[in-house]
Amino acid sequence: MNSPSASASSTGASAVSSAAHRPATAVDDSTLPSPAAQRLVANWQVPAACLSMMVIAALDLGQRADFPIASFYVAPVLLALWSQNTQHALYFAYAATGLSVVGFMRGPLTGPHEAEMANRILSIAMVWLAAALSLQRWRREKILERAFSDMERRVRDRTGELTKANASLETEIADRKGKEELLRQLSGHLMHAQDQERRRIARELHDNSGQTLAAIAVNLSRIENLMPDAPPKMRNLVADTAAMAEQTSREIRTISYLLHPPLLEEAGLLAAIGWLANGFTQRSGIKTEVDAPSEFERLPADIEVTIFRIVQETLTNVARHSGSKTAFIKLTRQPGEIVLEVRDEGTGIPPEKLEKVHGNVSALGVGVAGVWERVRQFGGALEINSNSRGTTVMVVVPLPEEQHL
């Protein structure tokens, strides 16, 4: 036999279980209390004050007693003080005053009623003291309402101003982003046009000027062979001219390769960087080492050109500004990106020049600004670290086709 508590627990559990498995239904509006009932519950002090007022009035007016019942008229007023409407206390104060006067008017004003009159006067004073508290509360509420309304108005006005300012700022940001994107596209087109112009000039130097100098060298050699009995002075002049033509031809070939190295298209990025490092060592006397993996897959043509130009510009800055005797180039391929590091052991960038950068790499010169523009075209990153022991330039270029794998 189950105990009552066990039965209650079982019943409650089954009710909870059935409620959990029962689909949710809409709340029946008929079960909700009416608005009048809701107001009555919210202002319960008013019915309680009315009831107490009726009881006190019945005791006061029903029969005379030695007990000073009139002093309790302050109780309904005090109850009304807790209601939401502060004027209720004033209404009960008027009613209590009238009832107290009516109760006093039942008998003569002389004789033993003098004590009762004093008691009722004291009761009325207490009632209106409570009413004064209600009035003071009402005035404070009015002041607070006005202050709150004024604050809401100011908040609305300020919110409107902030909304307009925010909209204007968003528009300005959108315009600025659009202009930056347009500038980035224009910069990309400009650099592409620059590379195309370099390729054209390199081809013209190689095909036209190079061939012309080669023809001049051949003609000078033929002149030297056609004049075996020429004076030594003339033969030396012809030989010197041929040597200068040969030197000019080599310089034009070097300039042509620097403008657009054919190895970059034929053999790839590593071969072009190796050729650039060897030529840089010969021209500047700065020993340049290249650290790269032995097997390096070909990259998209535009990325190979960008990295080659960055190495070229960085080595030019090393020769012009660093005063270093050595330079190091490190190229690594990581998942989704290419990391290039060019380092020297020179004097470094002056601290006062670094302090002026603040994210604006153009303060470091046109060359560094060009490097940053090339990196930004591919959404890459540029980092420059410099101290008294040298400068390190690190570039990260993402590979789009590998990022989507």
pLDDT tens digits for 145-160? 899 999 999 999 999 9
Tokens 């072009």, located at residue: 272
CA 360/CA 353 separation, integer angstroms: 11
β-pair type (326-334, 390-398)? unpaired
Domain boundaries in the chain?
A: 43-158, 286-403
Instruction: Provide mean pLDDT across the span 65-89.
Output: 71
pLDDT tens digits for 138-147? 778 788 889 9
Topology of domain 286-403 in CATH is Heat Shock Protein 90 (3.30.565)
pLDDT tens digits for 47-72? 777 887 788 777 777 755 556 777 77
β-pair type (381-387, 390-398)? antiparallel
Q: Which amino acid is at 31?
A: T
pLDDT tens digits for 301-321? 888 888 888 898 888 888 888
- Structural contact between residues 328 and 390, judged by C-beta atoms closer than 8 angstroms: no
